[in-house]
């Protein structure tokens, strides 16, 4: 399979079908680019109506070529595409890029034609990129299988960045912006309609390249979640940062996605949670995507999350401290001895952090150097920033200032940055001296915060796998299970329900209650009464055998009155359990992303504030802890107002168990609710009180 992808993304030989003599046209640009870039392999122009194309010999057909090329670029109209694909398939070409638009994005007829093209390719194993795409490039080999006009400005410079974008326009746009930032781009891939290769598969190919450190990716939805998750997992394990822009967050956006592509947008809040789970940095804007990729490609990940700030203006230092704090960085104070040394150098400086050397430092550059040196060498920071404002824009100052900064050393590998507003040549000069350069403190601190996040997710990659127990497969019928059956199923999967008893008769119920201890709860147990309280199917606080006996009879009566042919399994007798904080958990099946475990604090938090989070399944106990920490439950379970902290460990074990259950049984499940779960004080576990399991129809 990788052979076809290698051919698509980094071919050794190329045929250009529909080659044009006009180098500004779709059929002309790729040839011009491939010649201009010095691509070393053969490139065969194919055009039955011409002897030559752009001064080169043109071939009448793909069968006339001296060798079978790895890749065919199809610069032919939509109507001629199927024939071209068939020709490539019979010739034994490994892959083809389809530039033409007018397929699935155009409605039913286009969709059908696209399907026929895929079928024609599949027979011979021919892999397809597009249609309706801008193609791909590999800057190292000079492979430019694209007609993107961005190359009118020059070719890409190879570097540690890759771009994988469903949208060709967006892919060109961020490539341009990245170039303006002097970022080296090695692989550039656009997938268009994704009739065969999608963003996930391209991403997977890219994150297996050793030369790639950062991928900027853009998608409107996920078509194949298994390969998407796999790509993200590989990226994380290999320490490659994925910086993603996914659109369709808003209703208007989701609507537009629907009208634009056939991709399933999925639930955006689930997508967001899964990005956190896999350590993908989801950028909120193009600017942020570029900023984060810039920082990661140049600086890598820091060894921790502390930031030392050097300023020459109190106000700008405070602003940076605020912004760093908001981005999750720690602005720890300088050690006392270092503070004393700085004070001795300049009595009216502020030596804590932000370290403010005042405007004095501008007129005494050796002093500035010494100041920065003390911060770098004695501050113990993981990251450092010097706030330079508009000063470097003054030509008389720029170079001397850069030298003074560089003279302070690199603090033994600390990530060093400056903020400044200056012409691009000045920015380049500071970058050449090893500094990240940002104009804005929010953009810088957010990017540094992203590096810290990557550090965490790269570090925990190894722990993310988990074992899946073999579960019974009781899915002999569909729809809801009774509470008792649901609990039995989930208990086998490791969910710790309290002791309870299914009683077939009022006398059995009374005996069970006596054994459990009064007071007890009675609940009707029937797969046909999934919402028990709606029919008065729950009685609480029953204090003696007589009450239980009468209650059991009443519940059956009520259930049958509400649902006359309900299959009543009996009455559940359970202990009254109070105390602890109420949370809820469940499994839902996301249309695009598959089974996910949901978790939230119970009651108004879920109902009103939608304060819930999600994870793709299965996940580790460690991941469950991170999941809990994302919700208000984290604060409540820590123990509010002197209350005992809750048993967060037991809760995390339960969520991880639920995730394994979901993963093992995803084919048969429609949904699970465990609501409420009482989280008891630390060491006393969790007590799930009710469960609903819906099987797939």
Binding residues for a second copy restricted to 382-421, rule: CB under 8 A:
389-391, 393-394, 421
How far is Cα 83 from Cα 439, in angstroms, rounded to an integer? 52
Task: Give residues 594-633 in contact with a second copy (rule: CB under 8 A).
Answer: 604, 607-609, 632
Burial of 578 (0-12, 13-18, 19+ CB in 10 A): exposed
Task: Give residues 470-499 in contact with a second copy (rule: CB under 8 A).
Answer: none
Tell me which of 41, 158, 184, 253 binds a second copy, using CB under 8 A.
253
Tell me which of 198, 288, 500, 590 binds a second copy, using CB under 8 A.
288
Among the listed ranges 102-110, 270-278, 527-535, 644-652, the one in contact with a second copy (CB under 8 A) is 102-110
Residue 353 CB contacts under 8 Å (≥ 6 apart), including other chains: 308, 309, 321, 331, 332, 333, 334, 375, 379
* Cα 136 to the center of its chain, rounded Å: 23
CB-nearer residue toward a second copy: 62 or 78:
78
Task: Give residues 131-190 in contact with a second copy (rule: CB under 8 A).
Answer: 149-150, 152-153, 165-170, 172-173, 176-177, 180
Among the listed ranges 8-16, 240-248, 451-459, 509-517, the one in contact with a second copy (CB under 8 A) is 240-248
How far is Cα 403 from Cα 392, in angstroms, rounded to an integer? 12
Longest dimension (CA), the chain: 101
Could you tell me the sign of the dihedral formed by the alpha carbons of 133, 104, 100, 248, in that order?
negative
Task: Give residues 3-62 in contact with a second copy (rule: CB under 8 A).
Answer: none
The answer to whether 128 contacts a second copy (rule: CB under 8 A) is no
Among the listed ranges 112-120, 209-217, 310-318, 337-345, the one in contact with a second copy (CB under 8 A) is 310-318
Burial of 35 (0-12, 13-18, 19+ CB in 10 A): middle
Tokens 């050794």 belong to 12
Tell me which of 6, 21, 56, 105 binds a second copy, using CB under 8 A.
105
Tell me which of 140, 275, 318, 367 binds a second copy, using CB under 8 A.
318
The answer to whether 296 contacts a second copy (rule: CB under 8 A) is no
How far is Cα 11 from Cα 97, in angstroms, rounded to an integer? 11
Tell me which of 13, 305, 353, 675 binds a second copy, using CB under 8 A.
353
How far is Cα 120 from Cα 112, in angstroms, rounded to an integer? 12
Q: For the window 432-471, what string marks contact with a second copy as x by the rule CB under 8 A?
A: -------xxxxx----------------------------
**Going by DSSP bridges, is the β-strand pair 241-246/501-503 parallel, antiparallel, or unpaired?**
unpaired
Among the listed ranges 100-108, 233-241, 454-462, 614-622, the one in contact with a second copy (CB under 8 A) is 100-108
The answer to whether 251 contacts a second copy (rule: CB under 8 A) is yes
Phi first, then psi, for residue 365 (nearest 5°) are -65, -35
Task: Give residues 535-594 in contact with a second copy (rule: CB under 8 A).
Answer: none
First to last CA, the chain: 35
DSSP for 509-521 reads HHHHHHHH-SSEE
Q: For residue 211, give the 3-state DSSP assignment.
A: coil
Shortest distance (Å) from residue 153 CB to a second copy:
7
> Which runs of consecutive H residues, i.e. helices, occur in 92-224?
108-122, 168-180, 199-207
Among the listed ranges 28-36, 350-358, 622-630, 673-681, the one in contact with a second copy (CB under 8 A) is 350-358
Tokens 């204090």 belong to 543
Among the listed ranges 11-19, 343-351, 512-520, 543-551, the one in contact with a second copy (CB under 8 A) is 343-351
- Nearest in space to 195 (alpha carbons), one of 80, 95, 267, 92: 95
Shortest distance (Å) from residue 314 CB to a second copy:
4
Q: For the window 260-279, what string marks contact with a second copy as x by the rule CB under 8 A?
A: xx------------------
Among the listed ranges 241-249, 293-301, 368-376, 659-667, the one in contact with a second copy (CB under 8 A) is 241-249
How far is Cα 140 from Cα 185, in angstroms, rounded to an integer? 9
Shortest distance (Å) from residue 106 CB to a second copy:
5
Q: Residue 574: which H helix or E strand, with range?
A: strand 570-575
Q: For the window 56-95, what string marks contact with a second copy as x by the rule CB under 8 A?
A: ----------------------------------------
* DSSP for residue 567: -
């Amino acid at each position: 399979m990788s052979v076809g992808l290698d051919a698509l993304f980094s071919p050794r030989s190329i045929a250009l079908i529909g080659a044009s003599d006009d180098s500004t046209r779709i059929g002309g640009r790729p040839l011009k680019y491939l010649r201009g870039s010095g691509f070393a392999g053969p490139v065969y122009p194919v055009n039955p109506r011409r002897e030559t194309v752009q001064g080169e010999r043109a071939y009448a057909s793909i069968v006339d070529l001296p060798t079978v090329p790895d890749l065919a670029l199809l610069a032919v109209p939509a109507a001629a595409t199927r024939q071209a694909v068939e020709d490539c398939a019979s010739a034994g070409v490994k892959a083809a890029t389809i530039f033409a638009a007018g397929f699935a994005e155009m409605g039913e007829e286009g969709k059908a034609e696209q399907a026929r093209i895929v079928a024609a390719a599949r027979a011979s194993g021919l892999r397809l990129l597009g249609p309706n795409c801008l193609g791909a490039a590999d800057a190292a080999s000079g492979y430019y299988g694209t007609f993107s006009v961005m190359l009118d400005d020059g070719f890409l410079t190879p570097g540690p960045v890759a771009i994988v974008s469903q949208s060709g326009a967006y892919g060109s746009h961020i490539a341009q912006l990245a170039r303006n930032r002097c970022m080296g781009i090695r692989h550039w891939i656009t997938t268009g309609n994704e009739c065969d290769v999608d963003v996930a598969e391209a991403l997977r190919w890219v994150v297996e390249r050793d030369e790639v450190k950062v991928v900027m990716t853009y998608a409107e939805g996920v078509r194949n979640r298994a390969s998407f998750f796999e790509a993200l997992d590989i990226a994380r394990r290999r320490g490659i940062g994925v910086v993603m822009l996914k659109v369709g967050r808003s209703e208007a956006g989701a609507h537009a996605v629907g009208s634009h592509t056939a991709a399933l947008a999925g639930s955006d809040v689930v997508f967001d949670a899964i990005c956190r789970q896999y350590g993908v940095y989801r950028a909120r804007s193009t600017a942020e995507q570029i900023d984060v990729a810039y920082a990661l490609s140049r600086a890598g990940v820091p060894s921790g999350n502390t930031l030392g700030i050097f300023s020459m203006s109190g106000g700008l230092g405070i602003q940076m401290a605020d912004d760093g704090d908001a981005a999750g960085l720690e602005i720890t104070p300088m050690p006392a001895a270092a503070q004393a040394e700085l004070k001795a150098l300049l009595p009216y400086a502020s030596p804590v952090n932000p370290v403010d050397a005042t405007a004095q430092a501008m007129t005494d550059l050796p002093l500035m150097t010494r100041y920065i040196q003390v911060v770098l060498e004695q501050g113990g920071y993981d990251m450092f920033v010097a706030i330079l404002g508009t000063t470097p824009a003054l030509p008389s100052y720029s170079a001397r200032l850069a030298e003074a900064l560089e003279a302070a050393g690199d603090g033994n590998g600390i990530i060093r940055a400056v903020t400044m507003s200056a012409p691009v040549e000045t920015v380049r000069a500071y970058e050449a001296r090893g500094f990240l350069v940002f104009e804005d403190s929010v953009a810088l601190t957010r990017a540094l915060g992203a590096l810290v996040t990557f550090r965490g997710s790269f570090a925990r990659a190894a722990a993310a796998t988990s074992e899946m127990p073999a579960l019974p497969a009781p899915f002999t019928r569909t729809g809801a299970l009774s509470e008792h059956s649901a609990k039995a199923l989930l208990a086998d999967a490791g969910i710790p329900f309290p002791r309870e008893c299914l009683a077939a008769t009022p006398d059995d119920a009374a005996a069970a209650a006596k054994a459990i201890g009064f007071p007890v709860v009675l609940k009707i147990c029937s797969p046909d009464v999934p919402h028990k309280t709606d029919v008065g199917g729950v009685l609480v606080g029953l204090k003696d055998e007589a009450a239980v006996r009468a209650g059991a009879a009443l519940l059956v009566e009520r259930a049958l009155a509400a649902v006359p042919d309900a299959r009543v399994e009996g009455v559940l007798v359970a202990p009254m359990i109070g105390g602890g904080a109420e949370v809820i958990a469940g499994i839902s099946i996301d249309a695009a992303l598959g089974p996910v475990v949901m978790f939230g604090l119970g009651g108004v938090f879920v109902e009103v504030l939608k304060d819930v989070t999600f994870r793709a399944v299965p996940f580790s106990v460690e991941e469950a802890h991170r999941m809990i920490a994302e919700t208000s439950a984290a604060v409540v379970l820590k123990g509010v107002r002197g209350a005992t902290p809750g048993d967060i460990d037991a809760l995390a074990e339960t969520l991880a168990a639920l995730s394994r259950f979901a993963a093992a049984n995803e084919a048969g499940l429609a949904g699970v609710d465990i609501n409420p779960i009482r989280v008891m004080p630390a060491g006393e576990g969790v007590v799930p009180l009710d469960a609903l399991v819906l099987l797939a129809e």
